[in-house]
Amino acid sequence: MKNTFVVGSRKSQLALTQTEWVIEKLKKLYPNIRFEIKEIVTKGDKILDVTLSKVGGKGLFVKEIEQALLDGEIDFAVHSMKDMPAEMAEGLTIGAVPEREDPRDCLISNQDYTIETLPIGAKVGTSSLRRAAQIVAYRPDLKIESIRGNVNTRLSKLETDGLNAIILAAAGLKRMNWQDRITQYLDVDLCLPAVGQGALGIQVRENDQETIQMLQSIDDQETRMIISAERALLHHLQGGCQIPIGAYARWQNDQIHLVGMVAAVDGKRILKAEVTGSKEEAVSLGIKVANQLLQQGADQILAEVKEGR
């Protein structure tokens, strides 16, 4: 095995923290190997004055990193799984999916408001159509403000933008050791997470058997299976992280229980479906839930979202 591996990462503090976490896990198993981080700026990092849904396209936070992989500039890359398009770039594969962190969304408020106690007409910041739709379905009086930027930037907007609260992924705050900022964890019944939220996807060239073999040592099979169910749903719906699609798979008595959701942006229509099945059926469970959502009219909602960009 070679003695140095170059690891691709976005430049944000959270992305680097996640990448360093993966490297530490590998170092414990391979103490003689050196790991170098190559920071890469993606299109999603550059465009901060427009909502993600209006930028459109797939792979806003991964495309440049995938290109670096294909060009041989890096050996593997650490992504937030929820940023990864349902369809993998040709020649690349997921070498490892480590154990999942908390998949829930959470609310942060300097006044310690919860989603229930926010004043009527309160301003809530989020960059996600999925979060916005579910929040206004629960509290139609709330005003959603679009906020972009890394976790630090979005937290600072609580002070600078007159927001009463913001919604973020709990996993990012926990990985940064900032969980004390969390005012309320949102139950998945209220706010279904994004596909793969809380999980990391370690991407590698599919012909690089040496790196794949090393990465398999930190792969968590149980996490990989439930994530594959969620991603199969996303793939079948032809959705991306800029569309209001949610999915959450979890283990129930050695079986996978998967809930999927498609929402209209205004939160007035939220379609949900769920199934339970064996671990061998992980991918087919995702397709099954996607088909149930399509039968309920999800294709019409998704077409409206795409047209409204």
What burial class does residue 274 get, using C-beta atoms within 10 Å of its C-beta: 0-12 exposed, 13-18 middle, 19+ buried?
middle
On the CB side of 284, how many CA atoms lie within 13 Å of its CA?
A: 6
Residue ranges in the chain assigned as alpha helix (H): 13-29, 43-46, 52-55, 63-70, 129-138, 151-160, 170-175, 209-215, 221-236, 282-295, 298-307
Distance of alpha carbon 169 from alpha carbon 174, whole angstroms: 9
Confidence at residue 1, expressed as pLDDT on a 0 to 100 scale: 74
pLDDT of residue 51 exceeding 90, the answer is no
The CA-to-CA distance between both ends of the chain, in Å, stands at 48
% of the chain with per-residue pLDDT over 90: 78
Q: Which residue has the tokens 């309160």?
A: 122
- The residues annotated with a catalytic role in the active site are 83
Interval 127-150 mean pLDDT: 92
Of residues 68 and 127, the one with the higher pLDDT is: 68
| Neighbour order of strands in the sheet with 270-277 | 245-252, 255-263, 270-277
Q: Which residue has the tokens 């408020």?
A: 109
Of residues 263 and 243, the one with the higher pLDDT is: 263
Of residues 188 and 50, the one with the higher pLDDT is: 188
Instruction: Kindly state the DSSP code that residue 48 receives in the 8-state scheme.
Output: -
pLDDT of residue 231 exceeding 60, the answer is yes
Confidence at residue 41, expressed as pLDDT on a 0 to 100 scale: 82
Interval 12-21 mean pLDDT: 95
Interval 10-14 mean pLDDT: 91
For the stretch 112-131, pLDDT in tens is 999 999 999 999 999 899 99
- Confidence tier at 246 by pLDDT (50, 70, 90): very high
Q: Which two tokens stand for residue 19?
A: 């990448």
pLDDT of residue 50 exceeding 60, the answer is no
Greatest CA separation for the chain? 60
Distance of alpha carbon 54 from alpha carbon 129, whole angstroms: 11
Confidence at residue 235, expressed as pLDDT on a 0 to 100 scale: 93
Q: Which residue has the tokens 């996607």?
A: 290
**Which H or E run includes 76?**
strand 76-80
Distance of alpha carbon 290 from alpha carbon 262, whole angstroms: 9
